[in-house]
Chains A and B, each alone.
Chain A
Amino acid sequence: MSKILSIINDLDEANQISNLTDGYIVPLKDLSMNYHHYFNINQIKEMKKLNKEIFVSINKNIHNNMLDKLKETLEEIDKLDINGIIFYDISIINLKKKLNLKTPLVWAQEHLSTNYGTVNFWYDNGANFAYLSSEITKREIMEIKENSKAKLMINIFGYIPMFTSKRHLVKNYTETFNINEKENKKTIRKEGKKYIIEDEESGTTVYSEYILNATEEDFKDIDYLVFNSNFIKTDDFKQVLLDYKENKPNKYPKKLGFLFEDTIYKVK
């Protein structure tokens, strides 16, 4: 039976859904990106009181001058007795060994987590979990499960990050053309489709046009299914989890992303 992990908007939401989720993915402030909300160490400590599994996400690309802060933070988090650290940058694999950290690692290189050979490579190098790419098919996910020892996480509900940059794309544009921007949610639009674009201190993220909604798919044996509430109201998110628990379809359109759609890479 798969467990449910939720990416949440705030502590209140964490409380509200605590009986509907097995755990939380908590993006750490200053060291994670591609999320709409971030949490500090004290908030993580608060969340621990809910007695759920907690995976802290540290998924930024780590620049050389961030290493001291990263080391300090990893040592602090290691004392919290959480279930895992979700990482993108390979420095974290190295530091786990060097600092003798006991917290398990979740290899989560987003679009690069695409085959069981690589999952096994990272397993052999200290990552007991792998958070798979959203751009592979369901068949490939199941093959990875059959051929690897790592515990697996996959996204099944929520907006999916498609683009991550160090550049401040919205700010660069508005500054170049002297445009006053307000604090509203930004989107970029093309051919009738809208994509959320967030320009934060660490750079820019662009999200999928649709909410991935694969809650009706059977992913038996996959260890963790991730539901992401970013840009979704708490009541709606709560209802999605409730519907999932009751084996009912939710109100959002069924959107299966790449689960049944293999991408091509050579155009004849």
Chain B
Amino acid sequence: MKKPELLSPAGDLERLKIALTYGADAVYLGGTLFNLRANANNLTKEELKEGVEFAHNLNKKVYVTVNIAMHNKELNKIKQYLIELDKIGVDAIIITDPAIIPIAKKYTNLNLHLSTQTSTLNKEAIEFWKSQGIERVVLARECSKEDILDIKKSIDIELEVFIHGAMCASYSGRCVLSNFLTGRDANRGGCSQICRWDFDLYDGEEHLEGEKPFTFCTKDLSMAKYLKDLIETGADSFKIEGRMRSAYYIATIVRTYRKMIDEYFENKETYEYNPKYEQVLRRVANRDNIPQFFDGNYSKDVQYYNGRQETTNQDFLAQVLEYDENTKIAKLEQRNYFKKGDKVEIFGPKDEYTFTITEIYDEDMNPIDIVRHPKQIIYIKLPFKVAKDYMMKIC
């Protein structure tokens, strides 16, 4: 059985490097045009070139989302954009709109992946897409284990499945709440996430009022508990959602799934789900998570009724910028408040260390007790070796 690809989001160049350094086999990201996260940082042409070079040097891949539902005026610009992506050497583009297929085939050598935005759920649809030259289908998030198994068994095509992150409450592509309620086009990257809003639910003229307001909001997806089952479906690529998420989130999620996948392949017979990983994953999230439709146990518990009152996570304390092996002093950039005496953990792609902070210095190497300013540069003496992009968090 082939080891599945671990595919991470990359909202910008920094997160691309973090994701690949922390164990992702590939990243997906948006360029400046035609992608469904129009308000994310996204990557310029130059950044994309650098990102592709960085990935290819590690023998890893970069996929670019070109996944909006185009309007007429966009048809005139798409050819040039695809040619640019091809020249940069991206490994595939992820499309929703099939108008792109004949253009990409005629003018480029780009590999084509079909976005989950098409809500592809069955083998007949996939057979059609394969006949059109699609190399990989990102399955709809409503697929069950049996669906994936049957599709994989029936058609020789790469399948990509989501393993972690936020879910659309609708079938992907079948929601324009954002268009109607805010004038922002959901299928062209402007989704204003109306599914997270609170509403009042009425039965005729009677207000159906629960302890919390009505919302469309769903819990997030986590496949940690079912990872073995998912690997055994033969799905080719495991995708993490979240191009708007932080570098710390990406590092933690990628690293955790990397460990789980590798542990399974180290010894398939004895592999057991380790709940400690679930705890790590939950700790960086701000909503509950469940396996959603995979296990067929769909129930009322898929919903999330806390609206936007989501927990702000302040676990992430600082990111390592440099480490001097001679002095054993690390230069860090602050993310959240911490102080001398705090027990913390520093982790990298494959290792982690727990220690109590005994010495902190400011930029001029004056001793300080507390680090309270965002992005403050500080120095800490460490009893172990770290490297750039290691993360420090609350223990």
Binding site for B on A (CB under 8 A): 61-67, 89-91, 93-95, 98, 109-112, 114-118, 120-122, 125, 135-136, 140, 143-144, 147, 160, 162-167, 169-177, 179, 181-182, 184-190, 194, 197, 206, 208-209, 258, 261, 263-267
Q: B201–A188 contact, CB under 8 A? A: yes
Q: A184–B204 contact, CB under 8 A? A: yes
Chain B residues with CB under 8 A of A165: 169-171, 174-175, 216
Q: A94–B125 contact, CB under 8 A? A: yes
Q: B189–A265 contact, CB under 8 A? A: yes
Chain A residues with CB under 8 A of B171: 61, 164-166
Given contacts A61-B171, A63-B142, A89-B122, contact A189 B216 (CB under 8 A): no
Q: Provide a sorted-by-A list of 22 A–B residue pairs whose CB atoms are within 8 angstroms.
A: A62-B122, A63-B147, A64-B122, A64-B123, A64-B147, A90-B120, A91-B125, A95-B124, A122-B98, A135-B187, A162-B176, A166-B171, A173-B208, A176-B305, A184-B203, A189-B200, A190-B198, A197-B201, A263-B183, A263-B185, A263-B188, A267-B190
| Cα(A143)–Cα(B173), bound, Å | 23
Given contacts A63-B121, A174-B208, A189-B200, contact A93 B176 (CB under 8 A): no
Chain B residues with CB under 8 A of A93: 128
| Cα(A61)–Cα(B170), bound, Å | 11
Chain A residues with CB under 8 A of B99: 115, 117-118, 120-121
Q: A267–B184 contact, CB under 8 A? A: yes
Chain B residues with CB under 8 A of A98: 124
Say if the beta carbon of B197 comes within 8 Å of chain A: yes
Q: B75–A164 contact, CB under 8 A? A: no
Chain B 201-214 against A: per-residue CB contact (8 Å), 1 yes, 0 no? Answer: 11110101111101
Q: How many A-B residue pairs have CB under 8 A?
A: 228
| Cα(A98)–Cα(B143), bound, Å | 24
A46 to chain B, nearest CB (A): 30
- From B65-73, B157-165, B253-261, give the one contacting chain A: B65-73
Closest 5 CB pairs of A and B: A177-B210, A117-B99, A184-B204, A265-B190, A91-B124
Given contacts A62-B125, A176-B303, contact A266 B169 (CB under 8 A): no
Give the nearest-CB partner of A177 in chain B: B210
**Segment 17-65 of B: residues with Cβ below 8 Å from A:** 38-39
| Cα(A73)–Cα(B176), bound, Å | 30
Chain A residues with CB under 8 A of B190: 263-267
| Cα(A266)–Cα(B176), bound, Å | 16
The 8 Å CB contact of A261, one of B68, B183, B203, is: B183
Q: B211–A177 contact, CB under 8 A? A: yes
A224 to chain B, nearest CB (A): 20
Chain B residues with CB under 8 A of A164: 170-171, 174-175
Q: B199–A188 contact, CB under 8 A? A: yes
Say if the beta carbon of B133 comes within 8 Å of chain A: no
B207 to chain A, nearest CB (A): 9
Give the nearest-CB partner of A266 in chain B: B38
Chain A residues with CB under 8 A of B72: 115-117, 140, 143-144, 147
Given contact pairs A111-B175, A263-B190, enumerate 13 new A-B contacts (beta carbons under 8 Å). A61-B121, A62-B125, A64-B151, A90-B125, A90-B129, A111-B69, A125-B128, A140-B71, A144-B72, A165-B216, A179-B210, A267-B38, A267-B39
Binding site for A on B (CB under 8 A): 38-39, 68-72, 74-75, 96-99, 101-103, 118-125, 127-129, 132, 140, 142-143, 146-147, 150-151, 169-171, 173-177, 179-181, 183-190, 197-204, 206, 208-212, 214, 216, 218, 293, 298-300, 302-303, 305
Give the nearest-CB partner of B216 in chain A: A169
Q: B70–A114 contact, CB under 8 A? A: yes
| Cα(A185)–Cα(B202), bound, Å | 8
A88 to chain B, nearest CB (A): 8
Q: B124–A67 contact, CB under 8 A? A: yes
Q: A185–B185 contact, CB under 8 A? A: no
Given contacts A61-B119, A65-B147, A118-B97, contact A112 B300 (CB under 8 A): no
| Cα(A65)–Cα(B322), bound, Å | 54
Chain B residues with CB under 8 A of A144: 72
Chain A residues with CB under 8 A of B170: 163-165
Chain A residues with CB under 8 A of B71: 114-115, 136, 140
Q: A62–B121 contact, CB under 8 A? A: yes
Q: B146–A112 contact, CB under 8 A? A: no
Given contacts A91-B128, A184-B203, contact A173 B210 (CB under 8 A): yes
| Cα(A160)–Cα(B140), bound, Å | 24
| Cα(A173)–Cα(B180), bound, Å | 23
The 8 Å CB contact of A189, one of B125, B202, B305, is: B202
Q: A162–B177 contact, CB under 8 A? A: yes
Chain B residues with CB under 8 A of A172: 299-300, 302-303
| Cα(A103)–Cα(B118), bound, Å | 24
Q: B128–A112 contact, CB under 8 A? A: no
The 8 Å CB contact of A67, one of B122, B179, B198, is: B122
Chain A residues with CB under 8 A of B180: 160, 162, 208-209
Given contacts A64-B123, A264-B184, contact A190 B200 (CB under 8 A): yes
Chain A residues with CB under 8 A of B214: 169, 173, 188
B86 to chain A, nearest CB (A): 19
Give the nearest-CB partner of B205 in chain A: A184
B288 to chain A, nearest CB (A): 13
Give the nearest-CB partner of B123 in chain A: A64
